[in-house]
Structures are given as C-alpha cells and as structure tokens.
Amino acid sequence: MAEFIVHAKCGKRWTGLGKHHCSACHQTFSSIGSFTKHRVFDKFGEWHCADPEEVGLVDSGYDYVCWRLPVDESNAEWFKSLREKADEDAVVSED
C-alpha cells in the first residue's frame, strides 16, 4: 500500500500524486476537474471555495475524504465491464 501524503498545516492525508488538495479549504479532490469545480466566482468578483456537495461532487469512497465528479450514468455499463474484467484478472492471477 502506498504511503500517505500528509498536509503539514491541516493534517489531512491522501495517496497519489494525481490528487489535488486545496490550500484554502483543505479539501482533497481526485482530479483537477473536481478541484476546479469547487472554486466559484462570486457576485463581488472574488474566487472562493464552495462546499463540494453543493456543486455536485461526490466522495470517492477512499479511506479518506476525496471529492470527485459523479460518474456519468451513460458510461455505467462500461465501468461495470471494467470492474468485471478486473475481478476476472484477479482470480486468474491467484491461481
């Protein structure tokens, strides 16, 4: 298992160099797209952090809170086939 990256100021932890941690609100995001979605431009012309759930992000389900964009349901069957193939490959490698 990979070692956690720990933010020195807030103490939050995550794995993977592809994750994005906001130094303003200290939330962690699974992609630059999900990070960008939580940054909103207000009516006063200022950028600020939005609550991830309020902008449609969902928790990735890791051992730590990490926000991601929701899965497009039109791709659900494709993702299901990938999971099934991964499960088959895991069984073959155990033999």
User: Using 50, 70 and 90 to split pLDDT, how confident is the model at 1?
Assistant: low
Amino acid identity of residue 5, one-letter, is I
- In tens, the pLDDT along 32-81 reads 999 999 999 888 989 999 999 999 999 998 889 999 999 776 767 777 78
More confident residue, 2 or 56: 56
Please compute the mean of the pLDDT values over residues 19-32 and round it to a whole number: 93
User: Using 50, 70 and 90 to split pLDDT, how confident is the model at 92?
Assistant: low
Which pLDDT value is given to residue 77? Answer: 78
User: Using 50, 70 and 90 to split pLDDT, how confident is the model at 91?
Assistant: low
Number of other residues whose CB lies within 10 A of the CB of residue 34: 24
Whether 3 shows a pLDDT value over 80: the answer reads yes
Give Cα 35 distance to the centre of its chain. 8
pTM for the whole structure: 0.69
Domain ranges of the chain: 5-94
**SS3 readout for 17-64:** CCCEECCCCCCEECCHHHHHHHEEECCCCCEEECCHHHHCCEECCCCC
